[in-house]
């Protein structure tokens, strides 16, 4: 997921591309070896900087997709056709290429294993990336925190991490994944076939009496709509953490 860059007292460092994973036709994950990486929390992000031969530089921020327990750092990038950075990261970059990055950044939108409150994750499109870091952290730390992911995608082909989510939700350790497809549904589709609305949230959300912690990430209209519905449903606004994104130039 791309976002506006956040400046901080962090040094730029080089990561080497160790693996490329094509998640969907427009989305790829870059798995990086970063020798000087000091670790991160699930939900944080990094700045990525590209420098052209003529010295021109472009920066974008991308959520970290890997769990804190992973030895390598992963980011997941959606290609924007008119972008400056994403078309290079999704399509041109190759194994062993060097990527300049800075981070980790962010301390508000993070989840740490050991928090035993039920977890509700709501994602739209590439907004699933920081939530996937939380799900992977949950799995790596052997947490059994009751967790539900409600994930909105345009079509089945646009579901990022689909196979991994299927496997993790089948593990029987308290993770449930509910998909909604807003534009195209395959024959026999049993998930939701509309945009996220209050009725959908009422079906999947943990009872407010259980004091769940909630993370919502995706396009601004979706995030604002979901957060508004949750507040109207009686959830504590302090327990609802949101991150939103819009056009950044990619």
CA atoms within 13 A on the CB side of 56: 4
The contacts found for 180-187 with CB under 8 angstroms, 24 or more apart, are 180/150, 180/151, 180/152, 180/153, 181/152, 181/153, 181/154, 181/155, 181/156, 182/152, 182/153, 182/154, 183/154, 183/155, 184/154, 184/155, 184/156, 185/155, 185/156, 186/156
* Angle at which helices 128-140 and 162-169 cross, to 10°: 40
Take residue 78 and report the two structure tokens written for it.
């959606």
Cα separation, 201 vs 203, whole angstroms: 5
Question: Are 98 and 132 in a shared domain?
Answer: no
126 and 238 both lie in a single domain: yes
The answer as to whether 11 is a domain residue is: yes
* Window from 5-14, 79-88, 226-235 with minimum mean pLDDT: 5-14
Residue 104: cis peptide before it, omega within 30 degrees of 0: yes
- Of 44, 71, 105, the residue that ends a domain is 105
Q: What is the pTM of this model?
A: 0.93
Domains: count for the chain: 2
Measured in degrees and rounded to the nearest 5, phi and psi for residue 121 equal -115, 130
- pLDDT surpasses 60 at 138: yes
Q: Which domain holds residue 15?
A: 2-105
- Mean pLDDT across the stretch 188-196? 94
Q: Is residue 114 part of a domain?
A: no
- Of the three residues 79, 105, 131, the one that is the final residue of a domain is 105
Q: Are residues 138 and 181 in the same domain?
A: yes
| Average pLDDT of every residue of the chain | 92
Q: What is the mean pLDDT of residues 199-220?
A: 95
Q: Which of 35, 74, 144 is nearest to 135 (CA)?
A: 144
110 assigned to some structural domain: no
Q: What is the pLDDT of residue 161?
A: 98
Say yes or no: 101 and 129 in one domain: no
Q: Flag whether pLDDT at 83 surpasses 90.
A: no
Q: What is the DSSP letter of 111?
A: B
- Residue percentage of the chain with pLDDT more than 90: 86
Residue labelled with tokens 């970063």: 34
111 in any annotated domain? no
Same domain? For 144 and 236 the reply is yes
């Amino acid at each position: 997921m791309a976002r506006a860059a956040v400046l901080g007292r962090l040094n730029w460092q080089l990561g080497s591309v160790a693996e490329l994973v094509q998640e969907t036709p427009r989305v790829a994950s870059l798995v990086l070896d970063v020798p000087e990486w000091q670790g991160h929390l699930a939900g944080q992000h990094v700045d990525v900087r590209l420098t052209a031969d003529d010295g021109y530089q472009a920066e974008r921020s991308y959520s970290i997709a890997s769990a804190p327990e992973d030895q390598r750092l992963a980011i997941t990038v959606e290609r924007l056709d008119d972008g400056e950075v994403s078309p290079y990261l999704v399509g041109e970059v190759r194994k062993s290429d060097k990527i300049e990055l800075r981070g980790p950044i962010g301390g508000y939108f993070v989840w740490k294993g050991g928090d035993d409150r039920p977890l509700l994750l709501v994602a739209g499109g590439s907004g699933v990336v920081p939530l996937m870091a939380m799900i992977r952290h949950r799995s790596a730390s052997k947490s059994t925190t009751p967790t539900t992911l409600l994930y909105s995608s345009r079509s089945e082909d646009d579901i990022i991490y689909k196979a991994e989510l299927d496997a993790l939700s089948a593990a029987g350790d308290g993770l449930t994944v509910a998909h909604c497809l807003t534009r195209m549904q395959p024959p026999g589709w049993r998930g939701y076939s509309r945009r996220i609305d209050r009725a959908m949230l009422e079906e999947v959300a943990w009872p407010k009496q259980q004091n769940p912690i909630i993370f919502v990430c995706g396009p601004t209209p979706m995030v604002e709509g979901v957060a508004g519905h949750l507040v109207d449903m009686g959830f504590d606004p302090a327990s609802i953490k949101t991150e939103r994104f819009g056009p950044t130039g990619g």
